[in-house]
Amino acid sequence: MPVAVVAAASGGARSCSTGTLAYVSYAPPLVATPLATASRTLALLRERGAFSISVLADDQAEIAVRAARPSEGDKLAEQSIPVVEDELGPAVADAALVLWCTLASTSEAGSSLVCVGKVERTRRGEREPLLRFDRSYRALGRGIAVGEDAHYPL
């Protein structure tokens, strides 16, 4: 799974959480990310109606660890997470990919709320994404050649 930092800001307050994302739709462009129902990030996301998802680069595993720590304040500042500011919300600087989203819908799922975001804009970085598999952080390997390309938009 790609490792992501979900960030939101509202009324001068900022927060972030470590998570992941899933592709939902190509047209319109929608992605989903789960957040704990008690999360400060979720509260700010719902208040503002916007958020960012930063897919971390393969050398940013320490940022994933720091973003997962509990905080009652500005976790981005407290944990020295480098930030790119945007009107839709802060994002992690130098991430492999940043998606800035507006909140399209939410759905309860156990102790989480799945937030579906409409992708408003993106920024692709220079580096490969950080992955998590079998309880370990991993880097993306080389591409695999196939005889015929799949017919889907990813």
Annotate 94-104 with b (16+ C-beta within 10 A) or e (fewer): bbbbbbbbebb
> How far apart are the C-alpha atoms of 69 and 94, rounded to whole Å?
21
Number of domains into which the chain is organized: 1
- pLDDT tens by residue, 120-146: 999 999 899 999 999 999 998 877 778
Tell me which residue range forms the domain holding 70.
4-139
> How far apart are the C-alpha atoms of 125 and 95, rounded to whole Å?
6
CATH of the domain at 33: 2.30.110.10
Residue 104 lies in a domain: yes
Residue 42 lies in a domain: yes
Residue 146 lies in a domain: no
Residue 154 lies in a domain: no
- pLDDT tens by residue, 20-73: 999 999 999 999 999 999 999 999 999 999 999 999 999 999 999 999 998 888
